[in-house]
Structure 1
Amino acid sequence: MSLSPAQLKALKPHVITLDDGRLDRSSEENLDPQSIAEFTTVTADIRAIVETHLPAFIDAHDPADVPIVIFAHGGLVDLESGFEIAERQVAWWKANGVYPIHFVWRTGLVGALSDAIVRWLTGGTRGWFDETKDLLVEKGARLLGGGAIWNDMKLDAAASSDPHGGARVFATQLGAWMGADPRASRVSVHAIGHSAGSIFHSHFIPMALDENVPEFRTVTFLAPAVRMDTFEKMLLPRADSIGSLAVFTMHDAAEHEDTCLDVYGKSLLYLVSRAFEPVVGTPILGLAASIEQNERVSRFLDGDGGDLVLGPNERTDRSGTAAEHHGDFDNDPPTMNSVARRILERDDIVPFTADSRSVEPRDSVPPVPADSSRSLGGAKRALCIGIDEYPQTADRLSGAVADARAWRDMFSAAAFETTLLTNAEATREQIVGSIFQLITEAQPGDVLAVQYSGHGTRTPDLNADEGEGEPDSALCPVDFRGTGRVIIDDDLGALWDLAADGVSLSIFFDSCHSGGANRAPGGMRGDSRPRAVELTDADERAYRVARGVAGPRGRTRAAEASDAAENGSRAVPQASGVRREVLFAACDDDELAWETSGHGDFTSHVAPLVREHIGRVTNRAFYDALLIDFPSTRQTPRIDGSSAVEGSPFLAVELGSPASIVDGGADGAPASARTASPRDAAIAAILRGVADLIVSD
């Protein structure tokens, strides 16, 4: 849609735009955007919302209480659609005495994916029957990059709430204002997430509570696309700070009567579950069938803290919805009126209509209490990755898969639930998605490990965060040649940043991954070869295309360092603690990582040392131990982590009782095999299924 400059200016106090989870890197406000493309949000805009516009709205509605509604739209709508939703809702919310904040994501790849799937299905004389069409769409969505799009969208959602995310900037300032301004006593905070907006809020709500937002009076999810296990791990433990949590979604029969992408005979949530998530059939919170199969979530939504509204129905109270399609909910009058009645706690509201832009203001709203509790983790999980069979013969290795299996066996013997990705399984999508899942599912007290053996390379630094003339370093998934699908250090940094406080995260890379390592990759030396490759000109072009030369406005994800350096006025919040990850690398920056006689030199020496040191020494002490008698003079392993993390326990959250940590008891069985909880067993099953990325013929 096209909005006038006057409409865009009116939305300025109510819309926060995010790009890869970040605010705009510019230091200057654009108070008079002339088009949607010119509409950006910087820290000063958020300061104006919290310190000027919101207080003025509260004063204008004195003495009534004022709810703040924080709305997150679906992650696969384009920028214009995000603004259309805000334009349709803002005046209506204000007319009901509510101050709305809309987070608008810079996403919108679903159109390209839809076109690709339609072309794939209709190209040529492919014949299929109606009953097999949906299976073909699911397979096509995977083959054509649906999972990669979905993973990137989830990473954007999580990154918005990480220490440098735009949503955290807002939450930090809102929390500070609520603790300092007496008018905050008349304010309540509410969250609404439609579709993938529920993923955004699953990260935002816990973070905002940690940033001194006292509670969320209501949380409403409309056809939520968040994974069931993510909801259980991220939000249920914080239910004591949520007054009421409602899920509005469709009956399962209606999900099967919906259509998606014009060719899929079910709702988007079924496509997410069966094609976009790494495990086929992943339970999704918005699917009634998934809720019915999950006793914990069903019990919660049927109890005092939650509520489940299934539609379409003909109710006219606070549980009405006429939505017949996944995308209807945020534009469906019965749904939006029900949500407003819940937030305002009264039935006499200004009704939402097909055009709710020109209604008159009025006042609102009382408070509600909270309930429930939070628990710690304690799981141990590892992801092991090895790639020998790169498509091009010259790229192939002979010891990386053996490395990954050796690490897998070692971690399993030390009671870790372990996932193995090798060769064709180890695509960029699968590696990034598996690391993302491993980290975002972790809770305080969990111990995580990521191991990679394969090629490393260097790529052009598209966001100038490496210093003048310096490249980014990158890992090479099996599908990196000609596609641009490398995993750069910025990507990895964004993933590591998602680890929660209290999570132990250790990384073991047996590759020339760290920049400088492959300036002269060289060739074979006897039975040895280096684990480094160079990108061709075609590879670099594909990389730039894949990155959109950084996407909108020329920046990549995880550009925090350059943002902070170039924009002093942005005042990006720093991490609340130290870096959580520690990296054990196979070689120094100016060296090559080698493999000899069927194993990486680093792995051959280091993997056998791990079990005897788990939980007994610090990370630094383990590094010192691995340097003793290191067999190769051509590479020097390195450790990379903050001083605090280097001083933390090695592959443990605390030092002590090594026998119970390492050996699993007198019978030699891993502790997790004897004491696994249903939660651990469920997670293990999910992790073991991660390799099922492509639907088999």
Structure 2
Amino acid sequence: MTLLSLAAPEGATGTDRDLPPTADALQALRPHLVNLSDGRFSTGGQLTTGPQDVDRIFDAYLPAFVQAQGGHDVPLVIYAHGGLVSEAAGLAGAARLCPWWLDNGVYPLFFIWETGLWDALRSLLGGGPRDLSVPRGWLEDGANRIIEVASRPLGEKVWGQMKIGAAHAVASDGGAAYVAARLARFTREHPGAVRIHGVGHSAGSIFHSRFLPAYLDAGGQHVASLDLLAPAVTTADFSDRLLPRIGAGREIETFTLFGMTRQTEEDDNVLGIYRRSLLCLVRAGFEDEPNTPLLGLQESVQADPKLSALVAGPAGAAIWSPTSGAPPTASSGATSHGAFDDDPSTLGSVMRRVLGRSTIIEYGPSRPLPPEPSPAAPSPAAPSPADPPPVAPAPPAHPEPTGAPGTGASSAGRLALCVGLNEFAHLPQSNWLNGCVNDAEEFAALLASGFRFADSDITVLANAEATRSEVMGRLQDATARLRSGELEQLVFTFSSHGTQVPDDNQDEEDQMDEAFVTYDMNRNGDQWDPSTLMVDDDLQHLFDDLPPGARVDVVLDTCHSGSGLRAMDLLPGRTPRFVPPPTAAGLEVATAARSRTAGDLFKTSSAGRGPVLFAACRSDQTAADAHINGRYNGAFSRYLIDGLTTGAHRSRSDLLAAVRSDLQAGRFNQEAQLEGSSSALGSAWGAPY
């Protein structure tokens, strides 16, 4: 895989540093990005973001990072870029900064909210940079004034639209509102795990004036610090939305303003045409009223008694660049508006304030990010009473399972394989799913936290990892260990599409074999190739004649028969987990076949030995991939995990009744199935039978 290169290409100049990362590099950045367009999740461009991506950050990536950093007080920086930023430049900026934050033990989360202002300015001011050798003077002041007046019609429109985008982001359907709610929930469920820090450059301050109140109003824990670099937010908006929340005992502990001295603002330029800084142009030509005070301008702060008191008090600071002889926590060398987010001394000051220490890894030549980490749920070691509890990914908004079977912390003789596939190598994206990987991760987290499985005993296979050979190979190894006595318990969960293939061994009269779709499923003529997916016969052979005492729980959240297509649930937010045969001729054969029950998939021997099967639906129904409580899961998996979380002591039969009741209450057109020996059905899930 190509790693994310953060260095500018050799010979690059100017905005070449904003060349977008490669496609593979974008995937490495995905755990740290939220891409918005007009305030909503971006569904186009170079990187799409949806609720499921945000869920994965807070349910898997962030908890794993927190655990690796010690489990408590881990810095989490919410970064919003400036207004002179396209999507490509925003992604490139995140690529430059992300490894540096991570190297310092900080988890960064970047909002990419493209504004289009740079292209508008180029159009407005007439193209590229101009010769800056012309001496300054009254002629230049007059030219600046002409530009300020001429820019107002377009400037007001572009700048106003950018503000509207920030407002849309925190509206009820806004992407930032969703992130704010998920972040707030994370801090409530894991108190003390992270310390929140806001960092914004230029118009990023406008974004934060909306996002941080949304997060705090959603019940999130306090914000440890807010650092704004050359902030373009008006002093009125800042004073109204953020100032009352800053200070000791308030929701935002400390605030630091980085800006340029008044003279440095005058010495700056925009495209070599307007001979002042961008903030000066915004103040004079883009705001609703000319000469509107902006937070990043030194004279605006000095003229406002409340702001002057804030930056002079114990909870605030103002650092006017370029500094000379300042301590490392209050240094800046930026001499242009756009330089703050790439100036080593400015970034070093921000990092020291975030970490609360002077020793840091300095910002400098960038390194590549590793490939996107697997979001497999880690299993934390049991904490001692004196230690803060480590954070592990867990099903959202649910307590740890109560009354879970088993005693002690040992997981000797246990093994779990949790498989989830949203993506498939040979299916179009229109056939991809959303919640299957979440199912696998949450089952793994549940086993670790509530059923005392060790991390080394749990394997999560997601998407491209879950090929037929990989899944079958791991199951073959597990069943061999069951027969040898090395293992006593196996849990196998599988969330994906289901399908059908022609019966190739004549063990089913006039019917199709049920099949379970792995990543590399491919077609063969009018049907799917059985050698590229898991057929029910494959699983039956694996689980034949298990030894006495072997405990096997199988959870299948797929559709089992195409006959369910006649009653398919196509409500918004619900997708059937079924792939029909690839051609009309193949579908005709499948629909003529007799439907099979879930019990046909596995047979329990006369001695009562065999796996216990939980299946998502009857053979004449489809299982739903659904959006429930702000998160994608299989409807069956969601309610089964909920049931195991709140009452794992119940018998499997009672658990089935609870899951069916939840599915019915959710108006899902599927009825969960349970097959196994009578002793197993009367025992708690995971317990001996």
Provide TM-score, normalisation by structure 2. Answer: 0.49
Q: Which has the higher contact order (CA 8 A, sep 6+)?
A: 1
**Which protein shows a greater Rg?**
2
Provide TM-score, normalisation by structure 1. Answer: 0.48
